[in-house]
Structure 1
Amino acid sequence: MLFKKLEFKFTWRSYQQNFLNNFLKHIDDNHLHVIAPPGSGKTILGIEIMKQVGKKILVLSPTLTIRNQWEDRLQSFFVNDAQFDDFSFDLNQPKAITFSTYQSLHSFYKKFENKEDYFNYFKKHKIEVLMLDEAHHLKNEWWKCLFELKERDKLTVIALTATPPYDSDPLEVSKYFRLCGTVDDEIAVPDLVKEGDLCPHQDYVFFSEPNDLEINFIADFRGKIADFIDSLSADEEFIKFIECHRFVMHTNNTLDQIYANPEYFSALLIFLKSVGKEIKFELLEILGFNVKDKIDIPVFDLNWASILLQNLLVTDREILEKNESVLHKLEPQVRKINIFDKSKIDLIGDAVLYRSLSNSPSKLKSIVEIIKHEEDLLKDELRAVVLTDYIKKEFLEIENISSINRLGVMPIFHYLRTQVDKSENLAVLTGTVVVIHHSKIELFSLFDTFENYSFIPLISAPEFVFISSKTAVSKLVDTITKMFEHGYITKLIGTKALLGEGWDAPSINTLVLASFVGSFVSSNQMRGRAIRSQRNNLNKTGNIWHLVCIDKTDLKGGKDIETLRRRFDAFVGISKSEKTYIESGIERLELPEKYIDISITDLNTDALNQSELRSDLSMRWKSAILHGTTLSREIKQYYENDKPYNLQKQQKFHDVVKYSFLELGVGLSFFIPEVLIKNLNVLLSKGIISFVYTVLTAFGLAFGYKTYKVLKNYIQFGFIFKNLSKIGEALKESLIEINLITTKKENIFVKTEVLPKGDMIISIKGTNDFESTIFINAIQEIIEPIKTPRYLILKANLFKKEFDIQNFYSVPQIFGDKKKNCAIFEKNWKQYVGESEFIYTRHLEGRKILLKARLMHLSNSFKKTTKKAVIWN
C-alpha cells in the first residue's frame, strides 16, 4: 500500500466516524462530494480518505497557506516516528501525494501547447485521484483544466467544501456540479458544537441609518426614476413606437420570438395597458386565453419597466434598427439618471443604491459601538476581528476622521484608534498594510526577528507604526496572528481576502463582518473564523456581528438588508426565540419585516443586550441540540402579509377562505330573521311556494355574488394545503420508482405543516441528505411561479371549470428531461393529486398554454414565494 505508514494518532469524533463508515459507498461512482463546515477537521478527513483509497493523488487548494496546512496536518496527525516524505509540492516532480494550488495547476496546464501532453503527464505518473479542497472556487478558469482531465481519463474526484456556490450564476453552478458531482454527505454544525469542535455562537445584526447626504441621494434617485417613468407614459412618440412593435402589430409572424422571450412580450402589453390602451383579445388569445378567462394584467412597475427597457436598448436593439431615432433619444435619458451601465438597465437601484448603503460611513460608528460594548464585557479576554473588503490606502494618513466617507480597513482603524479604550491593543493585518502600536514592537521580537522588517511611524498617528517587510508576507501574517492569539493584540482589522478563508486564529470571540459581499461562500468562510472552538478554553462563545444600513424609503429596508437575508441562507444557527431551535435563514433572528416607522436604536439595544448573554448561549445550544439528531431540508411557501387576499395572483391557501365563510355566516344570521319578518304577510296571503320564491330572490340579490366568490375561493385555495401533501406523496413515489430515492420505503414519510402566519412547510423524513435535497428541489420547481418547464400540469376538473379556475404546476426537470420518467410522475400525480392534463410545452399549442400559465403568475415573478431551509430535528 502507498500509505501504510500513515495512521491517525487520535480518536475520531462520532460524526467523523459516521462519515468514514459511509464514504466508500459514495465513491464507487468515482465521485465523493462532501460539505464540511470550518472546524470539522475537513483536512484530516481528506487525508484519511486518501489513505483508504490508496492511489497516487494530487491535492489542490486555493492558496499556499491552505496547501501547506495539508502537509502540516499529515505530519502532525498521521505520522508517528520518522517523517513521511513521499510527498511533493512540485508538479514537475510528483510523488505519492502532490500538494499544489489551483493557480499552479492552471499555469502548468497552459504551458502545454499540445493538450495530449498534459493528459499523458497524469498517465505517466499514475495519478488517479484528484482531491479538491475548498472546491467552491472551481467555477471558471481553474475549472477547465480539471474537467477536461476528469472527462478524458475518468479520474476519481473528491471534492471538499464548506459551502457549495449555490447562489452563483446558474452556468457556474452547473459547471461546479458537473466537476464535483452531487453532494454525497454533509457534516452538521450542531454535531460539531455537540462534540466541542465548534463553540456556541450567535449572529447579531447592528443597524445604522444613512446620513443626510445619502438620504438626499436616495430620494433624488427615486424621484428621478419616478419622473422618468411618468415621462415615458406621457411620451406619445414612445407609446406609438410600442403600439407598432412587431410583437403587437405582427404577432402571428413573431410567435417564435415571443415564446423565446415571453417577459418582453408581457412588458409591452403591461405598458400599453398602463397608458390606457386597449389590449386586443387576439394578443391574449395566442397565450391560450379564451373569452371566459378573467385576466389580471399587473401594474407597470419598476420591474416591468426594467424588462421593457433592457430589451429595447440592449437585447432587441439590432432588430429595432428602423426605430433607432426613438431609442437614440431614449438612451441619453436613462444614462443621465444612472440606470444604464455595462449594458444593464437597473431601475430598482440595486447597484447604485447598494454601493451607497453597503459602503455607508454610518457603519464606522456601528463598529465603534460594537467593539466598545464587547470590550466592556470581555475586558482583556476580548479577541475581536473586523473584516472588510478593501484597504483604502488613501486613508493611511489622515488629519481628521470627519473627512472619512468610505468603509475600509484604514477608515475603520482611524475610527477605532481615536474612539475606543486601550488603542495600544489595536492592529491592522492585510496583504500589503500591517500596522501595530509602537509599544508592541518589543513583543514582536518574541515571535520574529527585527532584521527583515522596518517600523515606520505614521505621520497622523505616530504612536502606531507601519511594518514594511523585506521578505514574504506570510511570515509577518504568522507573527501578528501569534501576537493576537497571546492577547498582545485584542482588536484586529483585516481584509476578507487575507483572513476570510484558511486563516486560523481559534481565540476569536467577536467578529464584525464589515463586508458587503453577500455570497454564500464568502460569508460562510468569514463567519467560520469565529465559531471554531479553542483548546484550554471550554467556555468560549462566538458573537458574529453583521452591519446593515437601512433605506427607510423602502418598506423592506432596502438592498443592504436583502443581501444580508441572502447571506443567512448559508448559515445554520440558533434561534433568538424563547423556543430554541436550530435552522438556516435569517428568520431565526426575528427581525422586523418592515422598516418604515421603526426604531433603529431599539433594535440595536436589543441586540447588544442579547449579546451579553454568552453563558446563556451555551445552555441554549445544548438544549436545542438535544431536540434533534440530524439536519433535514424543508421548503416553506410564503403567505404574503403585505397583500393579503390577492387570490388570483397567489397559488396557495389563504385564511381569507375561512373569513369569507364566517362573513357569509354572520350576514345570513342577520338576514334570515329580517326577511322572515318582512315577508310573513306573503306566507299568510299567497302561500308557502310564493314565500319561498320571495326569500330565495332576496337571498340571491343580497348574497348571490358573495356566495359565488366564497365557493370559488374555497375550491381554488381551500384544498391547496391538502394538495401540497398529496403532491409530496406523488413526488416521493415517483422518486422511489426512478431510483433517485433508494432508502427503504417504509422508513420514509412526507410531512406538511401550516404555520400561524399562514406559511406552509413541506419536508421529507427518513431519507439521506442527498435524497432530501432532490425532493426539496423538485417540490420548489412544482410550486414556484411557472418558468420554462418542458412539461406543464393543468389541474382543472369540470366543477372548477364552471368557476373559471385553473391551477398550473411545473413538472420538475428530473422528470421532464425523459418522457419515460415524466410518464411515471404523471401516473403518480393522477393517483395522489387527481385528474390533470400534462402538457408538452415545446410545440406551438403547448407554448401558448405555457405563456398563459406564466401570465397568470406574473404578479409573483419578482417575489420570493418559497424558501429552502435546513433544520435540526
Structure 2
Amino acid sequence: MQKLSDNLKFKYTWRNYQQKFLDGFQEHIKDGHLHVIAPPGSGKTILGLEILKRIGKPTLVLSPTLTIRNQWRSRLLEFFTVNGNFDNYSLDIKSPELITFSTYQSLFALSKSFGENSKEQLLAYIKKHQIETLVLDEAHHLKNEWWHCLFHLKAIEGLTVVSLTATPPYDSTATEIHRYFSLCGAIDDEIAVPDLIKNGDLCPHQDFIYFSKPEEAQIKYIVNYRERILNFTNNLLANTDLQEKLITQDFYVNPKKSLDYIYQYPTFFSSIIIYLNSCGFALNEMNLKILGFANNDVTFPSFNYEWSEILLQHLLVDQREKFISFEDVLMPLEKDLKRIGVLENKRVNFIGDEVLYRNLSNSPSKLESIFKIVNHTDLSLQEGARTVILTDFIRKEFLNLEGDDTKLINKLGVVPILKYILAKQPNNASLAVLTGSLVIVNENALSHLKELLAIAQLVVKPLEGSAGYMFIQVPDALKNKIAESVTQLFKEGIIKTLIGTKAFLGEGWDAPCINTLILASYVGSFVSSNQMRGRAIRVDADNPNKTGAIWHLACLDPTAIDGGKDMEKLQQRFEAFNGVSIRDEAYISNGIDRLVLPLNWSETSDLSAINEDMLSRAQQKSVFTERWNEAIANGNVLVRELNIPFSEAQSFARQKQLNALNAGKYVILEVVLGVSLFIPEFLIKNFGAVLNKGIVQVIYLFCAALIFGFGPKTFKALKIYFLFGNQYKKTKKIGKALLHYLLHEKTSNFESKNAKIFAEQNLKGTFSIYLKEASQHDCNVFISLLEEVIAPIDNPRYLLVNGNFIKRRLGIRNYYVVPKDIGKNKIEALRFKGYWNKHVDGSKILFTRTLKGRKELLKARFSHLKYQFEEVSKKTITWK
C-alpha cells in the first residue's frame, strides 16, 4: 500500500495562521479527535488534506454535497500530488482506496443497503477496508438519520475523527448541540478572521442593521395580541375557583407528606406559591420552610409570564391526568389560551406565537429598507456597486403585478423585492434575479448573456408591469451555464444588483466582486448566516482595495423593550461571527454589542436617525480598513471569555469611584457616612439634655436612634455582603479553583501548563474572565465549566453549599454547581471540592439525588430566583 507521506506533499508555502495551527497539530490529535473552525477563505480543504496526510492512515472523507466532494479531489491533485502520479483515491464509497472521498448521503445509503444488522455490517465493512481516519467536512449539515451511521463508526477502536467546519451549530437545540460535540469532540483550534484579514485573505468589512417598524395592520395585531394576554393574566389572578382548588391540594396543605412530589417538580411547586402570593393569600408557613425561608425572610418574584407558563404547562399539559378534579376549571382556561394563540402544539407560550414573529420578519416594511440600502449604495459607489440581496422565498405570484402602487407588495421575497425597487425606480436597468428556477434580466443585459452563452436565441418573454425586464425560461441543460453567465455579467457591472434565494446563492456560489450584501432572510441560524456573509467578505483579485458591507434587517416590535423576536433572531445571528466595533474604541468581538444599539427599543422613537447613521458609516469604506488594522494591532489571538453583567439598581457609572465594591459595601459606606453626619447633629440637638438628664440617658437615646435610623440599612448591607461577597473577586477565585483542578487532576485533557487567569471590569460594570497562554481547546473547556458553575441552578448531581454561622443567622446560604463532567462521580466531586475550599471558601459537597439533597436543591433554585444575577453570564469571543 502506498504511503501518504511519500506520495503527497504540499507544493506551496503555508500561510502564517495555517502554519501556527499545524504546529499544534500533534497536541490536538492526542485524544483521537481534531475539531477545527475554519472560516470561508482560510483554506479549510487544503488543511484537511495536510491533516490526513500527517495522520497517514486509510481515510474516509465525508462531505455534504457532490460539489464539495469533488473540490476535495481537485485540491488533492492540484496542491499535493508529486509529479501527478498519485491515483490511490476513490470517489465511490463502495470501492474505497487509501483516500476515499464521499458524501454523508452515500454512507447512509450504504448502511441501509446492508438491511438487518446494518450497524454490525457497516463496522465490519469499514474494518475490512482498514479505514482508520474519518474526516467530517461541514458536519453542521448532518441530518438526523445520518448521525446514527457516524456514531456507529465511532465505536471502532482507534478511529481518529477529524471535524472541519466554518460554523458549529451553536443555536440548535441542547440535544443537537450535545450530539454534535459528542461526535466531533471539543473545539481544538480556530483560525481567526483577524488573522485572515491581516494576511490579506479576507477583506475588511462591517455589519450594519437597517431598522423598520411594522405596518399599521401589523401593529394593531400585535397590540391586540398583547392586550388579550394581559386580560387573560389579570383574569387568572382573579380566578378564585383555581385558587381554591390549589390551596386544598395535599401537597400544599400537608407538604411534609408530599415531599417526593414537590422535589420531583420544584419549579411547579414554586409557581403555585408565587401565584397564590400574587393573589393575596397568606402563605402556609410550612411551604416556606420547605423552600428554605422564614415568613419574614422571603421576597417573592412577581407572577410574570414565565411563571404563568410553568404553572399552566404543568396543569394543562404535562400533568393533566393528575389534576382530573380540576377539569371544570382547566377546560375554560384551555379554550381561552387556544383562542388567543398561547397554547399550540401542547406548549404554553406567553411570549408570542411563531406566526406573530414570522409576520414581523417578513414585514413589507423591510422592502423599503432594502430599497433605501440599494439606492444609497448605488449613489455612493456608482459603477462600482455590486449588491447581492438574499431572501427565503421567490413569491412567483407577484410576477404579473403591474403599476407602481407599493402597497400591493405585501410580502418579502425575490420577486416582490424586484417589483418594489422598480416601482420606486422604473428606469433602473441594472437589476437581475438569479434562482434555481427563475432568471430575470434587463433587455440591456440580454445581448451580453446570449454572447456569453454562445446562443443566438433564448426563450424569453417580457415581465408584466416591469418595462425592459425579461423572464428567461431556463432549460435544465443550460441551468449551470446561465448561472455562470449571469454571475459574469454581475462581475462586469452590467448587472449591479442581484436578487436571489439563500438556498441558491447562499452556499457554494461564489462571486468575489460582491461589496454589499443584504440579508433579507428570516433564517437566523449561525450556519446559514455565516455562510451567507462568507460571500461578501472574500478578497477580490481584481479589486485589491475591496471592502464589504453586510446589511441585516430588523422589524421592531413596538410593544417589546428588547425589540421583539426579530431582534432576538438578529442577536443570535451576530453570535456566529466576529467583527470590528462600529465606533469609539476599535475592538474585535462576536455579538451585537459592538454596534452600540439602544437598550430600550420601546423608548426609541427616531429610527430614522439610527438608519441614517448606519448609511453614513457604510459610505466610509476607508474607515473599515483603519478600524480593522487598529483592532488587529491590539491583540494576537481570539480569546474565549465569560462575561458577567452588572445588575445592581444603581448604575455602575455612578458607582465606578468605588471600583469593584459590591452593593453590600456600597450600603455599608452609606451607613458609615450617615453615622458620621448623625453624631455631631445629635450632639448639637441634645446638648441641653446632657446637662439636664445626665450622660447615661443621652447614651441610651443615642443608641436607640442609631439602631432605628441605621439598623435596617446595616442589616441589608450585611446580608447582601455575606450572600454575594464581591462577585468580581469571588468569580476570579472560582476560576482559580477550577484552573488548578484542571491542571492537576488530568481529567479533561487539559494541556496548557502555563495557563493564567485574567479578569477585566469595564465602566459599565460587566466583568470578564478568561485564560491566557492556553490553547483554544483548553480555553473552551475552562469557560464552559466556569459558566456551568455560576449559571442558574437547574438539576445538578452535586452542589457546593456554604453556610457559616453568620450566614445561618441571616438565613443565607451560597450554592454553586459542580459541573456535570466533574460531578460524574463522588470521587471527582470531592477532588474539585478540595480545590474549591483552598481557593474560594469552606463549602460542603451535597449529593442532590437523595430526599435531603432534593430539599436543599429546591432551596438553592429558589435562592437563585431571589438573589442571583438578573442577567445570566454569556460566553463571548474577543481578539486580545
CA distance 1:447–1:640, change in 2 (3 Å): farther
Compute the displacement of 1:700 (Å): 2.1
Q: Secondary structure at the match of 2:862?
A: helix
Q: CA separation in 1, counterparts of 2:673 and 2:353?
A: 48
Match of 2:70 in 1: 68
8 A contact 1:506–1:530 mirrored in 2: yes
The one-letter amino acid of 1:697's match is A
Q: CA separation in 1, counterparts of 2:546 and 2:114?
A: 51
- Range 146-155 or range 537-546, more displaced: 146-155
8 A contact 2:752–2:778 mirrored in 1: no
- Range 659-668 or range 365-374, more displaced: 659-668
Q: CA separation in 1, counterparts of 2:462 and 2:525?
A: 37
Match of 2:646 in 1: 639
- Range 854-863 or range 768-777, more displaced: 854-863
Pick from 431, 437, 446 the counterpart of residue 441 of structure 1.
Answer: 446
Tell whether 2:173 aligns with 1:169: yes
Once the two structures are superposed, the pairs formed by residues 137-286 of structure 1 within 5 Å of their partners are 137-138=141-142, 140-152=144-156, 154-245=158-249, 247-249=251-253, 251-286=255-290
Tell whether 2:341 aligns with 1:338: yes
Pick from 569, 575, 594 the counterpart of residue 563 of structure 1.
Answer: 569
Compute the displacement of 1:241 (Å): 3.0
Compute the displacement of 1:810 (Å): 1.1
Match of 1:312 in 2: 315
Pick from 410, 422, 428 the counterpart of residue 423 of structure 1.
Answer: 428
Q: CA separation in 2, counterparts of 1:500 and 1:609?
A: 27
CA distance 1:238–1:542, change in 2 (3 Å): same
Tell whether 2:772 aligns with 1:765: yes
CA distance 1:365–1:741, change in 2 (3 Å): same
Match of 2:373 in 1: 370
Identical positions, percent: 46
Match of 1:35 in 2: 37
Tell whether 2:571 aligns with 1:575: no
Match of 1:648 in 2: none
Q: CA separation in 2, counterparts of 1:562 and 1:234?
A: 33
Match of 1:407 in 2: 412
The one-letter amino acid of 2:126's match is F
The one-letter amino acid of 1:203's match is D
The one-letter amino acid of 1:584's match is N
Q: CA separation in 2, counterparts of 1:190 and 1:860?
A: 39
Match of 1:649 in 2: none
Q: Secondary structure at the match of 1:314?
A: helix
Q: CA separation in 1, counterparts of 2:181 and 2:768?
A: 27
CA distance 1:486–1:69, change in 2 (3 Å): farther
Once the two structures are superposed, the pairs formed by residues 568-717 of structure 1 within 5 Å of their partners are 568-598=574-604, 599-640=606-647, 656-657=663-664, 659-717=666-724
Match of 1:524 in 2: 530
The one-letter amino acid of 1:448's match is L
Match of 2:105 in 1: 103
TM-score (norm 1): 0.94
Compute the displacement of 1:79 (Å): 4.1
Which consecutive unaligned segments of at least 5 residues does structure 1 have?
Answer: 646-651
Q: Secondary structure at the match of 1:308?
A: helix
8 A contact 1:384–1:491 mirrored in 2: yes
Give the aligned length: 865
Which consecutive unaligned segments of at least 5 residues does structure 2 have?
Answer: 653-658
Match of 1:509 in 2: 515
8 A contact 2:450–2:456 mirrored in 1: no
The one-letter amino acid of 1:269's match is I
- Range 3-12 or range 333-342, more displaced: 3-12
Match of 2:816 in 1: 809
Q: CA separation in 1, counterparts of 2:102 and 2:850?
A: 51
Match of 1:866 in 2: 873
Compute the displacement of 1:514 (Å): 1.1
8 A contact 1:631–1:871 mirrored in 2: yes
8 A contact 2:309–2:348 mirrored in 1: yes
8 A contact 2:139–2:163 mirrored in 1: yes
Over the aligned positions, Cα root-mean-square deviation in angstroms equals 2.5
Match of 1:844 in 2: 851
Q: Secondary structure at the match of 1:55?
A: coil
8 A contact 1:724–1:752 mirrored in 2: no
CA distance 1:130–1:456, change in 2 (3 Å): farther
**Residue-by-residue CA offset, 1:130-164 (whole Å, 9 max, x unaligned):** 22111112362221111112214653221100111
Compute the displacement of 1:357 (Å): 1.3
CA distance 1:327–1:493, change in 2 (3 Å): same
CA distance 1:698–1:179, change in 2 (3 Å): closer
The one-letter amino acid of 1:13's match is R
Tell whether 2:727 aligns with 1:720: yes
Q: CA separation in 2, counterparts of 1:225 and 1:624?
A: 47
Tell whether 2:134 aligns with 1:127: no
8 A contact 1:140–1:172 mirrored in 2: no
Pick from 813, 820, 823 the counterpart of residue 827 of structure 2.
Answer: 820
Pick from 467, 471, 483 the counterpart of residue 472 of structure 2.
Answer: 467
**Residue-by-residue CA offset, 1:160-198 (whole Å, 9 max, x unaligned):** 001111221111111111211111111111111110111
Q: Secondary structure at the match of 1:543?
A: strand
The one-letter amino acid of 1:56's match is P
Q: CA separation in 2, counterparts of 1:270 and 1:317?
A: 20
8 A contact 1:555–1:595 mirrored in 2: yes
8 A contact 1:428–1:436 mirrored in 2: yes
- Range 169-178 or range 388-397, more displaced: 388-397
Q: CA separation in 1, counterparts of 2:8 and 2:715?
A: 76
8 A contact 1:654–1:718 mirrored in 2: no
Compute the displacement of 1:86 (Å): 4.0
CA distance 1:628–1:806, change in 2 (3 Å): same
Compute the displacement of 1:729 (Å): 1.0
Match of 1:360 in 2: 363
**Residue-by-residue CA offset, 1:261-317 (whole Å, 9 max, x unaligned):** 322222222212221222212223333x15377122211111111122222222112
8 A contact 1:139–1:175 mirrored in 2: no
Q: CA separation in 1, counterparts of 2:618 and 2:772?
A: 34
Q: Secondary structure at the match of 1:815?
A: coil
Q: CA separation in 2, counterparts of 1:426 and 1:89?
A: 40
Tell whether 2:387 aligns with 1:393: no
Q: CA separation in 2, counterparts of 1:642 and 1:393?
A: 53
Compute the displacement of 1:859 (Å): 5.4
**Residue-by-residue CA offset, 1:742-784 (whole Å, 9 max, x unaligned):** 4454x32212222212222211221111111111111111222
CA distance 1:249–1:469, change in 2 (3 Å): farther
8 A contact 2:830–2:845 mirrored in 1: no
Compute the displacement of 1:5 (Å): 4.1
Match of 1:328 in 2: 331
Q: Secondary structure at the match of 1:73?
A: helix
Q: CA separation in 2, counterparts of 1:159 and 1:669?
A: 65
TM-score (norm 2): 0.93
8 A contact 1:778–1:812 mirrored in 2: yes
Q: Secondary structure at the match of 2:231?
A: helix
Q: Secondary structure at the match of 1:263?
A: helix
The one-letter amino acid of 2:487's match is T
Match of 2:655 in 1: none
8 A contact 1:654–1:717 mirrored in 2: no
- Range 92-101 or range 172-181, more displaced: 92-101
- Range 188-197 or range 7-16, more displaced: 7-16
CA distance 1:452–1:265, change in 2 (3 Å): farther
